[in-house]
A and B are shown apart, each in its own frame.
Chain A
Amino acid sequence: MTTTTSSPTSTSASTPVDAPGPQTPSVIDPVLMAVLSSRLDTIVREMENTLLRAGRSAILALARDFSCAIVTADNRLLSSAEGLPVHVIGTEFITEAMTRLHPDLREGDAYLHNDPYDGNTHAADHTILVPVFVAGRHVFTVAAKAHQADAGNSRPTTFMPFVKDVYEEGSLIFTAVKAQSQGKDVDDVIRMCRSRIRVPEQWYGDYLAMVGSARTGERRLHELCERYGVDVVQRFVEEYFDYSERRMAHVISELPAGRFSGSGTHDGFSVVPDGIPINVTINIDSDQGVVDLDLRDNIDCIDLGLNESRTCSINNVMTGFLNSISPDVPHNAGSFRRVRVHLRENCVVGVPRFPHSCSVATTNVGERLVVTTQRVMADALEGYGQAEGACGIGPAFAVISGVQDEEAYINQVFMGSQGGPAGPEHDGWLTYGNAVTNGLMFRDSVEIDEQKFPMRVQEIRISTDSEGSGRRRGAPGSRVVYGPRSGEMEALYISDGAQFPPRGTRGGGSGRAASAAVIGTDGISRPMETIGAVVLSAGELLVHELSGGGGYGPAHLREPERVRHDVEEGYISVERAEEVYAVIVHRDPTGQVQLDLDATARRRA
């Protein structure tokens, strides 16, 4: 993709555009291209597998909050298999920092990078970069990125919303720092991390997993270049980018042309009581096969940790767009030539001005950016885009910490399910998690969480009538209740969707609003701020009602049989079926739900 950070009217800056079409002369035959592209994806999957299985912290290995990618030596994203969208797009900016700062790269080096002002997503995402050399020449860089359980912040959480700047955030920042030389740890760096990151063995375990993953990728790329010859592989790379560009151009050429704008809002709190507005403008040029995504019409950076890093601004608006088109287009520097993102400096969804904090860049405002973008597409174009999905990392996704048996623990839990957005043909995905991970992440096992942390999970239940209604409905939200079994437990969380619940599109309804509460030992429930921190004592319970996703199209066009099934399964009530969907159903004594087609026809007439 091309990104511009200058003044408006900069869209003509990129290279001339060819007309889309399948025929372009090739040097690499299409068979070899299919073989090599598949082989690159295999290598990335192998890296992912290593990271997943060897990872130490729950957030990495249980929730799958990690990604791997292969980038060319000149910093173009080449392959990312099916990684988390928010992690992968923009890996090239991280490798760019490495090549710029280390003109003397050597085989056997590994670099640790987490600098959100120089290409990274946010400080909690540590990335290990390994330059891959073939015959003494730097050919590729492999990257393994994983969200850490702790990043050395001033508070025990990897998400710091209430901070004025990066100093208050307190995270250790590494800008392409050499972590290994000749395949051996540079102990200075390891020591720094071990002395300043909570539960250091956990960090070191995840560091080892990332190194193992990157070295695996390095080995496999060596083998690939031996098998086919480095020249052939490099020629392939160029042609694969061209091929990917043709695919994207083709997809865009089939979209209706036009210029569409829309906005969304993150819930308000502290210095932004009315919320954080987000504006997205999309320009589709079908004739040229190019899309422009413009975020320049947005507010300046704010004195909170919710600013987007440059990489997150790009990858989240891209995710919203990619959610709206065919999933089969390869995602790499080639196809991204056809998607141009326009950012400005010192913007909440743009390029952050140092030292504004980007601690929470990967979720909250980032999620809003995804769902706003896909809803702009849906609002403008029937049959495209998606509604808004549930956002935020509320209490069911809190970072919990405390002391158990004289040992400190800290980790993010993933217990709830919040509603995925409806699309033109599909109801929302129930275990959506959030917009930046698009359902890929795993959910914790209650038993594993209780075994690792002194907690008790009392309730995880899908909430009836919490879906955004529609011809295709959003997924329902859920209710999650938990607390410490013994001792004190601190939970830090940043909900969204309490003030601005996920909206539907094209006549679809909004999802249920999120809320948080604490039930005291007296059994009385007290509402909580949706963004905050709470210290719970044994017997106290934290409650999170998670929002549902927005619906697509009018509810009265939903097929009655789908409504009947939703009632039978308890996703919606008999009353809501009648009032919102205009479908009349009856529950019989065995619990089955019968459709009254005649009454429904009358109701819908």
Chain B
Amino acid sequence: MSSNQQTPYLQEPFRIAVDTGGTFTDVVLADRVGTIALGKALTTPQRAFEGIGAGLSRLAEEHHLTLAEALAGADTFIYGTTRSTNAVVEKTTATTALFTTAGLPDVLVLKEGGKPHPFRQMHYPDPYIPRRLTWEIDERIDVDGSVFRPLQESSVRHAIQQARQAGCQAIAVCLIWSVVNPAHELAIERLIREEWPEVAYTLSHQVNPVVREYRRASSAALDASLKPLMQEHLTTLAHDLTEKGFGGHLLVASSYGGTWPVQDMVQRPIYSIGSGPSLAPVAARSYAQAEAVSAASAALGSGGSADAWTTASDLLVCDTGGTTFDVGIVSAGHIAYTGETWLGGRWIGAITGTRAVDVTSIGSGGGSIVWLDSGGLLRVGPRSAGSEPGPASYGRGGTQPTITDACVVLGYLDPDSFLGGRMKLDEAAARDAFAAHIAPALNMMVEQAAWAALVVAVEDLVGAVRTKTVSQGLDPRDMLIVAGGGASGLTIGRIAEELGTPRVLIPRVAGALSACGGIHSDIVCEFSVPGFAHTDDFNHEIVNGWLWDARSQGQQFLDSLKNLPIESSDLTFSVETRYRLQAWELEVPLTTTDFSTPGAVEELQRAFDVVHDRMFSVSEPGQRLECLVWKCRATARLPKPSIDAGPRPDTAEPARTRPAFFASHRHDDVAHHDGTTLPLGAQVKGPAVVREPTTTIVVYPGQSLTVTTSGNYLLQTGK
């Protein structure tokens, strides 16, 4: 990122974090005193380490190290990957059998119903496991755990034999009410071990003990189908790292927004789905907290008070890659979770069914095509020019105007310095595309049409962000946006303005936000014990027993981490609960795990009323609660690097100027700054453009951009 003579020496022990996407692998090398270095390499799906090694070698060299020295000096290596996500979406996972309760074989076919649009005809999606690889097991357990029909072992042996003959490589087992009484699933496990010991399998009550058979079956199916692949993938990576000199701990990013020791992920690979993107909110939280700390100490030094923005506790995390716009939320320091992660489309794809960091892709990137519908209304996307032929300005035969082309026409992207000058953009082609397809029909100039396209694209994202935040009971106007990803800086100022969000924090590591999240992550795991109780007739002893069970599982997990450099650890508890007869649950944190304490039940009711009111604008105090799942979250904190300003010049270098368009105004001399040349505290007034090696930030008229005391960027919309 900067020239060699300036790059500092890193101090051992290092921490290495990697995020392998479908195309690029982000590599981060950091030490504990605050030096952080970013690198990029092409992803090598066949053998992950080839790409990682290439990226890491270059990074090490820039910091006066060899690859072997970097690996040997690292105490932890955090690995986030889209490998499992892509395998599921591309259907390259193992051929997997599904064993279900007799009479209910179509759980994965019928899912939970729902269709994205009432009037659009669509092909009904194939189930994740085909019907021909589904076998019914003769057994049935009831809601209270009693055995209605005993397990017929012969039906299990028959199913195993048939699955083997059909060429299956894994077995997913999901029986009705196994979460209340796992005896039958455990008996099947015993029979699988007897009959076919080498096959991979997953029991639903172990991988994801939730009520709702479709979700649990889908969890088991995804997990079993990933086991052969991810076991191979992770074992090979561990082997390659060891061979090149790494002697520390290999941690794999999980969908919980933390990490797991590699041996845990090998056991439950479904938790590696979405693991890369789930670290973006982790990084966002760390950077926002660091800004708060440095602002507070600066305020202390000057005798003033810390600026209010740093204490905004709710974060809206926007991570814009080449093709998607992902959104996550951090509320009061807690990363938002969801039980609804769908691969391949909501309702029509496969749900993971597990709790995961709520990172949703709500829109497409710069390749979205701009068009006019039959009523003459301007539309953007969802069709995308992709990378082939790509936007018109790529000069690869694309003729349809895209958002990237709009940014070229408007003068935000300098055709000569796109991707650090590696790719020259064709400004004339971008203009031609708008002139041919959009501008005349709207009776607009080309620049006006490009601006209009940007406005519409921003509006689509704003609508989706608003829907998302409000469904969590949060108002985007009270939040701080943290923006990451290479493409976010172009539009985030407009998005913030339309949302009414006054401030955007753009970490200088924005281009590799998820990988940086790895550097700042903890080891996190959740344990659930289903147990139905209602507050009118609360059996303290039974509930305490469920919580004790959850606690022991959490403690056992923490105990298994003894060899790691853990700084501190804790267990926190929550319950999924709802009003009587209500359909969906809300998670409420528990302040006690002993319900024999006087007032404990009343405290739970009060806490639920508050959460319900925040989420849905109504509550019903006094209505009894139905509690469904008791949970323990185990967190083991790892030592983290401080976030440091890094090397910065004392004075700014003069900026180049180019013309640019905002709304219907042409500005002749819009400053284009090289971000790395701006000193701490520098303020850039809009309109301006600030280029960082991994992103370009547009400061719109009326907005301002400040280099913070920690060396990041704070964009203020002036609203």
Contacts and interface: CB of A to CB of B under 8 A. Distances in A.
Contacts of B579: 56, 205
Given A430-B109, A458-B103, A212 B618 contact: yes
A569 B375 contact: no
Contact of A199 (B114, B117, B471, B581): B581
Contacts of A211: 618
Interface string A50-65: 1011111110111010
B103 A445 contact: no
Interface in A379-433: 386, 414, 417, 420, 423, 425-431, 433
A269 interface: no
12 contacts: A30-B452, A37-B377, A42-B463, A205-B581, A247-B374, A250-B374, A427-B124, A429-B122, A442-B112, A450-B142, A456-B142, A459-B103
A23 B376 contact: yes
B109 A31 contact: no
A297 interface: no
A439 B111 CA distance: 12
Contacts of A446: 104, 176, 213
B117 A34 contact: no
B612 A54 contact: yes
B471 A53 contact: yes
- Shortest beta-carbon contacts, A-B, top 3: A61-B583, A54-B616, A439-B115
A460 B136 CA distance: 12
A208 interface: yes
A41 interface: yes
B406 to A, nearest CB: 12
B325 interface: no
B4 interface: no
A574 interface: no
Contacts of A54: 582, 612, 615-616, 618
A30 B177 contact: no
B104 to A, nearest CB: 6
Contact of B117 (A327, A442, A450): A327
B214 interface: yes
Interface of A: 22-24, 29-31, 33-35, 37-39, 41-42, 45-46, 49-50, 52-58, 60-62, 64, 82-85, 199, 201-202, 204-205, 208-209, 211-212, 215-216, 243-244, 246-247, 250-251, 322-323, 327-328, 386, 414, 417, 420, 423, 425-431, 433, 437-443, 445-448, 450-452, 456-462, 475, 478, 481, 485, 568-570, 589-592
A35 B376 contact: no
B467 interface: yes
Interface string B345-381: 0000000000000000000000000001111111100
B571 interface: no
Contact of A22 (B122, B166, B441, B581): B441
B113 A439 contact: yes
A411 B105 CA distance: 25
B563 interface: no
Given A243-B376, A431-B110, A568-B132, A84 B583 contact: no
B2 interface: no
A31 B103 contact: no
Given A49-B470, A440-B115, A591-B162, 16 more contacts: A22-B376, A34-B459, A42-B464, A58-B581, A85-B118, A216-B470, A246-B374, A327-B121, A430-B109, A431-B115, A445-B212, A460-B104, A569-B131, A570-B132, A590-B166, A591-B132
B655 interface: no
B118 A82 contact: yes
Contacts of B376: 22-24, 30, 243, 246
Contacts of A31: 378, 452, 455-456
Contacts of B560: none
Contact of A439 (B104, B118, B612, B617): B118
B104 A457 contact: yes
Most chain-A Cβ atoms within 10 A of its Cβ — which of B105, B123, B176, B581?
B581
Contact of B106 (A39, A250, A452, A478): A478
A394 to B, nearest CB: 16
Interface residues of B, number: 72
B582 A243 contact: no
A30 B377 contact: yes
A77 to B, nearest CB: 15
Given A45-B467, A250-B374, A323 B119 contact: yes
A420 B115 CA distance: 12
Contacts of A39: 459, 463
A552 to B, nearest CB: 11
A95 B612 CA distance: 29
B685 interface: no
B130 interface: yes
A58 B623 contact: no
Contact of A461 (B103, B132, B616): B103
Contacts of A441: 113-114
B110 A417 contact: yes
Contacts of B132: 568-570, 591-592
A431 B212 CA distance: 18
A312 B115 CA distance: 22
A105 B452 CA distance: 39
B615 A247 contact: no
Contact of A56 (B120, B130, B582): B582
Contacts of A323: 119
Nearest to A429: B124
Contacts of A386: 121
A470 B471 CA distance: 43
B165 interface: yes
A53 B213 contact: no
B581 A57 contact: yes
B293 interface: no
A417 B214 CA distance: 15
A445 B460 CA distance: 33
